[in-house]
Structure 1
Amino acid sequence: MKKLLMLLICGLLWAGVLNAQQTQYMVFEFIKVEKDHLFDYIEFKDLMEKVYRQALNDKIINGWDIWRLQNGADQGNFQYVMVTYFNDPVKMMNGMEDETMIEYTKIAYPHLSDSQVRTLFQQALALKDAPMRLYMRQLASTNDNFQFRPGVLASFDLMKAVEGKFGDYEKAEIEVFMPIHQNRINQGMMGHWSFLRAALPQGSEAKSTHLTVNLFKDYMQFFNAQAYEDMNQTAEQREAVNAGLNSRDQKWVYLATLENVVR
């Protein structure tokens, strides 16, 4: 009996470890690029892709993307969104030190000298400004096999839970809205959906507390999803949807196209 109890406890602990390992953390950097540097930014993206691919090979990160913004409330300030994926909150907060990135740059450009690599790296960093950075933890996601490749579309929806309805909002996203998105995916009208919460404590003046990521393989799928209406919803389901909508404020919606990806 004791042996069985110990096996059960070990099984529960191992399940907890696996769950912790599967939790995904993401850093969203909304990037501002001056208009006269937009062409140079192409070289920056290619450089960063090579650097982050080395970081992925060394298991420092889980993945990396650069998205070009199509619209949004701050379109005049932000032109790109860079997303870096981690499986550990400590790795997320530490990020990658400049020296580590320079070493990866040397690997990516073995024909350059040390001074040339450092100059290239500093020139690349000077092209961008990231005035808004979000540290997020994924709470839920749909069951799908969406493939990240250049050209796919994303809708990044920044939300703020209504004061006093934080728990209600998260419950609504997971129990009400996620099944709706899963149904769209099953019908081929969407690629992927995930729900994220700010990983750092925030005060009442925070502009957003949560983020939903909606992914589509192309514009046809995107517009079909916008026109989708579930006519089979019951009155109870519609009431739950409305309650969920009333528990949060949709602050900004950014439509973006994937340009560079490391997986």
Structure 2
Amino acid sequence: MKKILMLLVCGLLWAGVLRAQQTQYMVFEFIKVEKDQLFDYIEFKDLMEKVYRQALNDKRIKAWDFWSLQNGADEGDFQYIMVTTYDDPVKMMNGLDDEAMMEYTKIAYPHLSGTQVMALFEQSLSMRDMPMRLYMREIVSTDDNFQFRPGALASFDLMKAVEGKFEDYEKAEIEVFRPIHQKRIEQGLMGHWSFLRTALPQGSEAKSTHLTLNMYKDYMQFFNAQAYEDLSQTAEQRKAVNEGLNSRDQKWVYLATLENVVR
């Protein structure tokens, strides 16, 4: 009996370790580029894909995605979203400093001299502005095998929990909305869904407290999902959905197309 109890305890502890290891931490960088420098920046982000691949090989990051915005709160605010995924909160907060980025650039482009690498980064910094950066922790996601490939579509929904309803909102996303999205995935109407909590910035003045990612393999799947209406919902389920919607304020929705992927 003691051996069985010990095995159960070890199993639970191991499951906890696995869950901790699987937790994802993401940095969302909303990028603004002046119109006369868009072409130069497109070349630069292709270069950055190779640099971040070196960081992935070195296990400094878990993934890197570069998204081109289709719309947003104000189309003039941002043109791109860069998402860097980590498996550790400390790695997320430390990020990749300039020294590491230049070192990875030298590995990715051995034909460039140190002076050329420095000039490249100075040029990139001068052509972009990052007015918003969010540090986030994934709380829950759907079970799926979504493939992150160029051309995939995503809706980045920035949310702010209503004051006093923070826990109610998170409970609604986990217990009410996740099963709805899981059902859509099983019906072929969606590719992936995840729910994230903001780590930084925090406080009452923060523009958002959470973010949901709704991903689709292409525009066809996206438009089919928009046209779908679940007529099988019970009155109790509809009530739970409405209560969940009332526990948060949907601040902005950004629709974006995946252009570069490192995984």
Q: Which residue of 1 aligns with 2:117?
A: 117
- Corresponding residue for residue 205 of structure 1: 205
State the one-letter code of the partner of 1:34: E
Contact 1:105–1:121 at 8 Å: present in 2 too? Answer: no
Tell me the amino acid that sits aligned with residue 248 of structure 1. R
Taking structure 1 as the reference length, the TM-score comes to: 0.96
User: Which residue is 1:105 aligned to?
Assistant: 105
Write the distance in 2 (CA, Å) between the matches of 1:15 and 1:201.
31
CA contact (8 A) 1:26 1:85 kept: yes
After superposition, give the CA deviation of every residue in 1:107-165 in whole Å (9 maximum; x if it has no partner): 11111111112212221232211110000100111111111111110000000000111
**Conserved? CA contact 1:156–1:253, under 8 Å:** yes
Deviates more, 1:33-42 or 1:199-208: 199-208
Contact 2:67 2:258 in 1 (8 A): yes
Q: Structure 2 unaligned runs (5+)? A: none
Unmatched 5+ residue regions in structure 1? Answer: none
Q: Which amino acid aligns with 1:255?
A: L
User: Matched residues in 2 for 1:3 and 1:144: separation?
Assistant: 36
Paired position in structure 1 for 2:33: 33
Shift of 1:100: 0.6
State how far apart, in whole Å, the 2-side matches of 1:170 and 1:12 are: 24
Q: Deviations over 1:208-255 (max 9, x none)?
A: 100000001111111111111110100000000000000000000000
Matched, 1:62 2:66: no
- Scaled by the length of structure 2, what TM-score is found? 0.96
Instruction: Write the mapping of 1:122-133 to structure 2, written as runs, cut at 5 A.
Output: 122-133=122-133
SS at match of 2:150: coil
Deviation at 1:181, TM superposition (A): 0.8
Give identity over the alignment, percent: 82
CA contact (8 A) 1:68 1:81 kept: yes
After superposition, residues 73-92 of structure 1 pair within 5 angstroms as 73-92=73-92
List aligned pairs for 1:1-263, cutoff 5 A. 5-200=5-200, 202-263=202-263
Deviation at 1:15, TM superposition (A): 2.1
Residues 156, 253 of structure 2: 8 Å contact kept: yes
CA distance in 1, matches of 2:44, 2:57: 20
Instruction: Give the secondary-structure state (helix, strand or coil) at the position aligned to 1:77.
Output: coil
Corresponding residue SS for 1:199: strand
For 1:138 and 1:90, locate their aligned partners in 2 and report how far apart those are by CA, in whole Å: 15
SS of the counterpart of 1:27?
A: strand
> 1: CA distance between counterparts of 2:216 and 2:133?
24
Deviation string, structure 1 residues 33-58 (Cα, Å, up to 9, x no partner): 00010000111111110110000001
User: 2:51 is aligned with what amino acid?
Assistant: V
Work out the CA distance in 1 between the residues paired with 2:182 and 2:81.
25
Residues paired across the two proteins, number: 263
Distance 1:171 1:233 in 2: 19
